[in-house]
Amino acid sequence: MRRPRVSPLATAFLVSAAIFAGVLVWLLADRATSRGDALKTAGLAGGAVAALYGLWLNDRRRRVEEDRHELERTRISDERFAKAVELLGHDADQVRVGAIHALGGVARSRPETYTQTVLDVLCAYLRRPFAHPEIDKVDDPAAASRELQARRTAQRVIRSLLPDAGSGGPAYALDLSGARLDRFNLSGKEVGLLGAQRAMIVNGVSFTDTSFSGSVFFTGASVHGPVDFVRTKFGAGTGFRDFTAHDEVSFREVSFALPPDFGQASLPEGTELP
């Protein structure tokens, strides 16, 4: 037969009453203690138990409320994330831009949970096929220009989510293999692994004071516009094999933890390799 459950309040009351009675009997047995003092002391002892129970109950309620709020925050963030990912494929460029900013907001509100995930999604967006209106033949230049603006927004949000170099923040990975980028700028940021194999970058790229703690791959990548590796720090292996630069490349004060691979790279005449 199942025993009836005793509530914490009843338990606290019984314990308080037992302590009151025990202290009262013990003090009354001492002839030097008056009846009034015995009642006062026993009351304080029993009241202390009730007070401790009240503190415990308030703390428990607070923790339950915090857990409820955390679950609600998680639910809202999950819904915002799912909706934003869905809207990245919308035909209207203003909707895509709004979705990109929404993803950035989700990452900032729950960085430990969502930052790397949002970065992965935005990188996947930039890996989508895209004909750049400045170097490719496009059927609808206006539509291509609008998509270019959305892509620039995605790049800015990616940059905003990365910690500053030297800040001790987490080193996030960026997979931009095969991506079409424009005015790509990670200057002054801390990055983990960067995969940019076969990436096409238009209007230049800047990595001034960027710190890479993981491997970096520019294998088969091509850049139209100036390439800036000024004071860039590479903390692991770096691959520039088959890398093509169509404009000036600067490696001024760059540092490599391991010898970089420039095999079959095509660089402008006069480029000073590190």
Residue 77: pLDDT band by 50, 70, 90 thresholds? Answer: confident
For the beta carbon of residue 82, count every other beta carbon within 10 angstroms. Answer: 11
Beta-bridge partners for 191: 212
- Mean pLDDT (the chain) is 85
CA of 115: how far to CAs of 88, 145, 195, in Å? Answer: 17, 28, 18
Q: Give mean pLDDT, residues 55-74.
A: 69
Mean pLDDT of 56-60: 67
For 197-202, what is the mean pLDDT? 96
With bands split at pLDDT 50, 70 and 90, how would you rate the model's confidence at 76?
confident
Q: 191 versus 43: which is more confidently predicted?
A: 191
Q: Per-residue b/e over 250-270, b at no fewer than 16 CB within 10 Å? A: bbeebebeeebbbeebebeee
Residue 128: pLDDT band with limits 50, 70, 90: very high
d(CA 188, CA 255): 15
Q: Output the pTM of the full model.
A: 0.77
- pLDDT at site 24: 46
pLDDT band per the 50, 70, 90 thresholds, residue 190: very high
Contact assessment for residue 170 and residue 191, using Cβ atoms and an 8 Å cutoff: no
- CA distances, 82 to each of 8, 112, 114 (Å): 42, 17, 12
- Rounded mean pLDDT of 138-153? 94
Cα-to-chain-centroid distance, residue 10: 46
- Which pLDDT does position 152 carry in this prediction? 97
| Residue 67's pLDDT band (cuts 50, 70, 90) | low
Q: What is the mean pLDDT of residues 97-108?
A: 95
Tell me what the mean pLDDT of segment 41-48 comes to. Answer: 56
Label residue 3 by pLDDT band (50, 70, 90).
Answer: low
Domain positions in the chain are: 88-161, 164-274
- pLDDT of residue 1 exceeding 50, the answer is no
Q: Which amino acid is at 181?
A: L
φ, ψ (nearest 5 deg) of residue 245: -120, 125
CA 32 – CA 34 distance, rounded (Å): 7
236-273 confidence digits (pLDDT tens)? 999 999 999 999 999 999 999 999 999 999 999 988 88
Position with higher pLDDT, 152 vs 34: 152
pLDDT for the residue numbered 222: 96
Percent of all residues in the chain with a pLDDT value above 90, rounded to a whole number: 67
Who wins on pLDDT, 165 or 42?
165
